Amino acid sequence: MNEQLAAPVGTALDRFIHQKQEQFPFATGELSQLLRDIALAGKIVNREINRAGLINITGSHGIQNVQGEEQQKLDVIANVRFIRALRNGGEVCGIISEEEDELIDTGKPEGKYVVAIDPLDGSSNIDVNVSIGTIFSIYRRLSEQGTPVQERDVLQVGNKQVAAGYLLYGSSTMLVYTTGYGVHGFTYEPSLGEFFLSHPNMTIPTSSNIYSCNEGNSREFPAEVNAYLDYCKDKKYSARYIGSLVADFHRNLLKGGIYLYPSTKKAPQGKLRLMYECNALAYIVEQAGGKATDGSRRILDIEPTELHERCPLYIGSEEMVDKVEEFLHKEQLEPSLV
Ligand code: AHG
Ligand code: MN
Ligand code: MN
């Protein structure tokens, strides 16, 4: 038999989710259905992204989101697609999205879950055919089922996530997620319209020689961060920075590395959002054996106070995150610039 025919087709996402659910006798299947809803919306967004240049959906939408950032047309499309899928599914009572100022009540008070989502991550890369993504976190609601969703349902600490994941629209499209039992990656087969298990039980190398950081901001960084970046250069590490968090994170997850988005003079809390960027990736990286901090606190232990709050992020291979923390806490260095 030729090699291609001998290769197994592999496990489709639906089957995998179903098998996992069967291991929990009391599981009701709602979380499984929610993950399927996200995967379906991901396929639709993937389709829109693939033909964006042909159907006039690149470029700016002409308004700013709550972060003061210009929304791209695809930001808006992805936002609508995911919210619609989550609303129709019925398992979700509330959503927070990067693209929406307020908590969204889905009108499904029976829904047991809430979702925090960055519908399209890496917007600046949309128009230039570079990898972009979607990031999501899922929590069990705190208020009683059957009642309207409340802000405290979504303002939960990251260690309460029941699942988190991302879609990466790259050279291939992938879905990577965890429910707290390891990290699993699926690759999309467009001709079959299915995600197949391609990366079971993903683990991140404990160390590597890749650092990912927007060094254009280095004049604004604390002195301790610049000292660490000098250390990376002394060690002849490779700099790899795409500017799409999901893509930079995914590469480092596979190859090992550290991604850092420190505080700056202009943005003392950094740029990235705790609820729909940092928490999900922190959960995934820890499940894969890595680490995520804001420089002093474990990301997953930060008690959120606002839907759109930001935090500095140091995430990736355990030994590399330990090393940057060592630099951040060195007392003999100049006092921080920030
Ligand atoms: P988003 O497109 O969802 O607003 O996120 C952009 C984020 C993140 O994806 C990326 O790592 C970072 O912004 C890049 O920021 P800089 O351009 O400041 O490097
Ligand atoms: Mn983002
Ligand atoms: Mn975004």
Burial class (CB in 10 A: 0-12, 13-18, 19+), 142: middle
Ligand with minimal distance to 78 CA:
3
CA contacts within 13 A on the Cβ side of 271: 16
Rounded alpha-carbon distances, angstroms, from residue 80 to 158, 175, 223, 244, 272: 25, 19, 41, 20, 22
Question: Residue 102, Cβ neighbours under 10 Å: how many?
Answer: 10
Taking only the tens place, the pLDDT of each residue in 300-330 is 999 999 999 999 999 999 999 999 999 999 8
Task: Pick one of 3.50.50.60, 1.10.3720.10, 3.40.50.261, 3.30.540.10 as the CATH number of 7-199.
Answer: 3.30.540.10
Measured in whole angstroms, how far is the alpha carbon of residue 130 from the centre of its chain?
17
Q: Find the ligand nearest to 67 CA.
A: 1
Closest CA to 128 of 64, 190, 53: 53
- Nearest atom in ligand 1 to the alpha carbon of residue 248 is 11
99 CB under 6 A from ligand 1? no
Is there an atom of ligand 1 within 6 Å of 69 CB?
Answer: yes
Q: Which ligand is nearest to the CA of 248?
A: 1
CA distance 96 to 98: 7
Q: Does residue 187 have its Cβ closer than 6 Å to ligand 1?
A: no
Q: Are 196 and 40 in contact (CB under 8 A)?
A: no
Specify the residue for token string 């600046």: 124
Domains 7-199 and 210-333 share a fold: no
Alpha-carbon gap, residue 106 to 83, rounded angstroms: 8
Does the CB atom of residue 98 touch ligand 1 within 6 A?
yes
Residue-range domain boundaries for the chain: 7-199, 210-333
pLDDT band of residue 338 (cuts 50, 70, 90) is very low
Q: Give the right CATH number for 210-333 from 3.40.50.450, 3.30.1300.10, 3.40.30.10, 3.40.190.80.
A: 3.40.190.80
* Across 77-94, average pLDDT: 96
How far is ligand 2, taken at its centre, from the CA of residue 96, in Å?
13
Helix, strand or coil, per DSSP, at residue 103: coil
pTM passes above 0.75: yes
Ligand 1 atom with minimal separation from the 98 CA: 3
Contact 295, 325 (CB under 8 A): yes
Percentage of the chain beyond pLDDT 90 is 82
Would the CB of 125 count as within 6 Å of ligand 1?
Answer: no
Write the pLDDT tens digit of every residue in 39-72. Answer: 999 999 999 998 877 777 677 777 777 777 777 8
Q: Compute the distance between CA of residue 16 and CA of residue 55 in angstroms, rounded to an integer.
A: 34
Tell me the pLDDT tens digit for each residue of 200-259: 999 999 999 999 999 999 999 999 999 999 999 999 999 999 999 999 999 999 999 999
Tokens of 45: 């967004």
Locate 173 and state its tokens: 């499209």
